[in-house]
Amino acid sequence: MPKKIPMRQCVGCREMKPKKELIRVVRSPEGAVSLDFKGKLPGRGAYVCPDPACLARARKSKALERAFSAALPPEVWTALEEQMKEVPADG
């Protein structure tokens, strides 16, 4: 039997993609929001494509705010955009 591939939905483009292709945005129990490249950090996670356009779409639609049930300050978005530019090519 083939191994099941875990699928997640990007909050920007709303497409279902394999979990390994997406970047996890995590809100820690303390409330800090960051990118989680390994997918192991504790806290509430949402997934976004490794594409700045998807992050921009998620920001416009307030998708991450809905996912985390909390407002995200502008400096958090700026930090996420900076981290997105430094995304490793291999995921």
List, in order, residues 6 or more apart from 16 with CB less than 8 Å away.
Answer: 7, 8, 9
What is the reported pLDDT for 11? Answer: 93
Nearest to residue 12, comparing CAs of 23, 28, 4? 23
How many other CB atoms sit within 10 Å of the CB of residue 57?
Answer: 18
What local confidence, expressed as pLDDT, does residue 90 receive? 52
Place of tokens 């800090």: 32
pLDDT (mean) for 58-87 = 85
The answer, yes or no, to whether residue 66 has pLDDT greater than 70, is yes
pLDDT one-digit tens code per residue, 2-44: 889 999 999 999 999 999 989 898 999 988 888 888 889 999 9
pTM of the model: 0.82
Residue 47 has what pLDDT? 93
